[in-house]
Amino acid sequence: MTSVALRLLVLGLDNGGKSTFVTRLFGEDIEKTRPTVGLVIRTKTHIVDDVIIDVDYWDVGGQESLRRHWHNIYHKGDAVVWVIDSSDVERMETCFDQLKLTAAAIRSKSLGFLVVCNKQDLPTALSVSDIRQVSTLAVAGRHRIPNVSGTTVFMEGCSAVLMSPDDLDQIIRKFIKTFLPSLPIMESRLVLPQTLYTNQALENGEKKIQAAIDWNRPIQLPEIDFRFTALEKLCQATHTTTS
């Protein structure tokens, strides 16, 4: 089974439920959850179509005083989980203005955005369809944020306090599977080992290349002397398949 790594930046305004979402996803007691001040990093393993994905969740504080520092970690992420308070109608416009600013700041990486419409259990919460209209995000078809090229958006409703860890896990897995072609996961993680010329590493190298073919993603090849003709041909086939 192939194993890869992915780093998700968990962002959004304060009181959106980011820490509650992550805590519940990890199957832990949310009663002791406190607002994040700074950054908390945790790792969870997800399995998507027989691929083991070790996900680092970077839970970042959303207070206004902290948002000015977000730019320091933009380059660290492979995708963004943007958690919003569906009942906070007054700050909904501010929330999506900040999202668009964030997307514009990291547009060069073409990151995918999972917009989690949290707190759907509250009576004052806007529905996902209403939030979609308020946000002015294009989240149909080939999802794009207007005027921010290369940004893919997926929107999902949830209640972090009521949904089970498995339900939240399913949201993450669906996002990863649906938008994997838009994420730099394979390019940044599936790099062939520098010791590929050894017999011991050959099998692993072939598996990594085959994974890139299966996921229809390119793969970065190190500048080394390949001593196996069969592997060289497989590398060439990979680039042909994914071009």
Residues serving a catalytic function are: 63
Confirm or deny that 15 is annotated as ligand binding. yes
Question: Strands 112-118 and 152-157, how do they pair?
Answer: parallel
Question: Strands 39-48 and 51-60, how do they pair?
Answer: antiparallel
Confirm or deny that 141 is annotated as ligand binding. no
Sign of CA dihedral 162, 166, 167, 172: positive
10 Å Cβ neighbour count for 199? Answer: 8
Confirm or deny that 119 is annotated as ligand binding. yes
Confirm or deny that 121 is annotated as ligand binding. yes
Burial class (CB in 10 A: 0-12, 13-18, 19+), 177: middle
Confirm or deny that 236 is annotated as ligand binding. no
Largest CA distance in the chain: 65
Confirm or deny that 2 is annotated as ligand binding. no
Euclidean distance between CA atoms 219 and 213, whole angstroms: 9
Euclidean distance between CA atoms 42 and 114, whole angstroms: 18
Confirm or deny that 18 is annotated as ligand binding. yes
Confirm or deny that 32 is annotated as ligand binding. no
Confirm or deny that 112 is annotated as ligand binding. no
Known binding-site residue numbers for Mg(2+): 19, 36
Known binding-site residue numbers: 12-19, 36, 62, 118-121
Known binding-site residue numbers for GTP: 12-19, 62, 118-121
